[in-house]
């Protein structure tokens, strides 16, 4: 194949470190990037590296600066609130309500929670990612619960599903199922209707500024009234990618395809219904979307 350069994620480099001399012997440079860390420094520097490789430095400098500015705005707003950090629990909902799946410690969505001023209740129990004991969750009583999902969730009847061509009604139905877990009815997040759903794939890239805004808004709704994470996510794609994403990416339980404007609106929402059958499967549509993205 004779590549001009090999790009590895940091975890790949750590795994393959003993093989790097083989690339060096073949005069193939190895470049390491790191988006899993979810830090502003690594996000921006990694993107600038891609710009240097592709010869698009100006574009690769502009996007990271917008990302850094967006994160700085979030942190400025949170600092101005000046209250105790709300407790948050985040889970990848790929196994459905019947089994607690991965939550996040110091990186990925756990790092986003830290960045936007949340107290991640999983951090003392999970270093990177993995499940926690359900009793630990109940004892810590999170103020906010966020379940993430992808299109793959549609392969199961009750796993969390979010993303391309996933309807809001379908996402709402699946999210509601998680609140039926034993003991969850007593959690502050469930009692106060602060249960949310987020697109799992909207992370580990510059597009996750929208995810950071969304998480910040779940934690400090008053401070982020004028912030629209959905708009941020869409505008990033319109500006830097050749397609506009269509589907469900950020929702609050009981509030259709958006966040509740007030507490009463959550109660007034009708129960979500099953999504109507579509002529193409979600997989076919995702493949088509990705094909347009890279061609």
pLDDT at 287: 52
Residue 255 has pLDDT above 60, yes or no: yes
Average pLDDT rounded to a whole number, residues 51-77:
91
Q: Which of 166, 175, 255, 163 is nearest to 200 (CA)?
A: 163
Contacts 24+ apart (CB under 8 A), 135-138: 137/89, 137/100, 137/187, 138/183, 138/184, 138/186, 138/187
Residue 13 has pLDDT above 70, yes or no: yes
Say which residue the tokens 């050749």 belong to. 242
Count CB atoms within 10 A of the CB of residue 165. Answer: 22
End-to-end CA distance of the chain: 20
- Domain boundary assignment for the chain: 6-56, 77-283
Judged by average pLDDT, the poorest of 86-95, 101-110, 143-152 is 101-110
Q: Which of 248, 267, 268 is nearest to 258 (CA)?
A: 248
Q: Which of 207, 205, 76, 217 is nearest to 146 (CA)?
A: 217
Average pLDDT rounded to a whole number, residues 4-30:
91
**pTM listed for this prediction:** 0.80
Main-chain dihedrals φ then ψ at residue 23, nearest 5 degrees: -65, -45
pLDDT over 70, % of the chain: 86
Name the CATH topology of 77-283: Rossmann fold (3.40.50)
Q: Is the dihedral of CA 231, 237, 239, 244 positive or negative?
A: negative
121-152 residue pLDDT tens: 888 877 777 788 888 889 999 999 999 998 88
Residue pair 8/32 in contact (Cβ under 8 Å)? The answer is: yes
pLDDT at 43: 87
What band does 202 get if pLDDT is binned at 50, 70 and 90?
Answer: confident
pLDDT at 110: 79
């Amino acid at each position: 194949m004779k590549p001009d350069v090999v790009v590895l994620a940091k975890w790949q480099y750590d795994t393959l470190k003993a093989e790097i001399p083989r690339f060096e012997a073949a005069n193939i440079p190895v470049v390491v990037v790191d988006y899993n860390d979810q830090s502003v420094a690594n996000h921006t520097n990694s993107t600038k590296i891609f710009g240097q490789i592709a010869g698009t430095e100006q574009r690769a400098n502009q996007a990271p600066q917008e990302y850094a500015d967006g994160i700085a705005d979030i942190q400025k707003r949170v600092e101005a609130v000046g209250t105790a950090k709300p407790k948050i629990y985040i889970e990848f909902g790929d196994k459905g309500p019947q089994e607690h799946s991965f939550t996040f410690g110091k990186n990925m969505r756990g790092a986003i929670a830290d960045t936007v001023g949340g107290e991640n209740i999983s951090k003392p129990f999970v270093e990177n990612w993995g499940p926690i004991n359900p009793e630990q969750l109940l004892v810590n009583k999170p103020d906010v619960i966020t379940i993430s999902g992808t299109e793959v969730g549609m392969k199961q009847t009750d796993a969390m599903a979010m993303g391309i061509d996933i309807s809001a009604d379908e996402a709402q139905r699946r999210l509601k199922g998680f609140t039926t877990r034993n003991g969850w009815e007593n959690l502050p997040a469930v009692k106060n209707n602060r249960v949310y759903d987020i697109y799992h794939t909207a992370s580990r890239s510059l597009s996750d500024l929208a995810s950071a805004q969304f998480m910040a808004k779940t934690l400090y709704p008053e401070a982020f009234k004028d912030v629209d994470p959905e708009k941020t996510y869409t505008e990033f794609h319109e500006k830097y990618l050749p397609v506009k994403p269509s589907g469900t990416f950020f929702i609050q339980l009981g509030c259709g395809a958006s966040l509740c404007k007030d507490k009463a609106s959550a109660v007034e929402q009708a129960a979500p219904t099953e999504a109507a059958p579509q002529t193409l499967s979600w997989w076919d549509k995702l493949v088509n979307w990705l094909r347009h993205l890279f061609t």
